[in-house]
Amino acid sequence: MAPNVDRAHPGLLGIIRAYAEQDRGFEARPDWAYQSSAHLLLAIGRQFTVAPPPADMAGMPKRLCYSNSARYATKHQAEGVVYAEGLALIRMGGAAFHLPHAWVVRRDGTVLDPTWDDRRGEDYVGVPIADPALWPVDGGGLFSDFEQALHLLRFGLPPNAIADVGRPLG
């Protein structure tokens, strides 16, 4: 999903539903787990609570959210955090932008965003990944990498790969 400006700010759930509705015009693959990334998010995605970051959390390199989040989650795994990936909504210059992003989620469903230290996202919808073997510590996202995304759309995630944190979208 490409970045987009949304002046009406319907929230990420509304945006994802609109993408899924647009995808209805395309022929679905009946043997695939999900018709599109929007359908995947609606089926297994979660919504997370935005909270202030810890005082000692320093921002990691810009534009490397996938590896930043995977590395932060790996380093703090004993604290019960997990890697999450999906869409985030951020406001800049009065406009709301939604874009593919990765972050870390605490057990209580609150977001830790190791990449955006200068501003926080307003809304985060994505999939919390329980299996550290799937966390992309070397970069590239599960849903943003073309080959990985096609594999996930076709076969879905492995059993027990989704962490039980955040609020289900259903």
Mean pLDDT across 13-19: 91
Q: Average pLDDT over the chain, rounded to whole?
A: 87
Q: What per-residue confidence (pLDDT) applies to 119?
A: 66
Is the pLDDT at 131 greater than 90? The verdict is yes
Burial 62-73 (b: 16+ CB within 10 A, else e): eeebbbbbbbbb
Q: What per-residue confidence (pLDDT) applies to 116?
A: 85
Is the pLDDT at 117 greater than 90? The verdict is no
Residue pair 35/29 in contact (Cβ under 8 Å)? The answer is: yes
Q: What per-residue confidence (pLDDT) applies to 9?
A: 44
The string of pLDDT tens digits covering residues 36-63 is 999 999 999 999 999 887 777 777 778 8
The string of pLDDT tens digits covering residues 88-110 is 998 888 888 899 999 999 999 99
Q: What per-residue confidence (pLDDT) applies to 154?
A: 95
Pairing of strands 82-92, 95-105: antiparallel
Q: What per-residue confidence (pLDDT) applies to 28?
A: 73
Mean pLDDT across 141-156: 91
Q: What per-residue confidence (pLDDT) applies to 6?
A: 37
Instruction: Calculate the CA 50 to chain-centre distance.
Output: 13
Is the pLDDT at 3 greater than 90? The verdict is no
Is the pLDDT at 7 greater than 50? The verdict is no
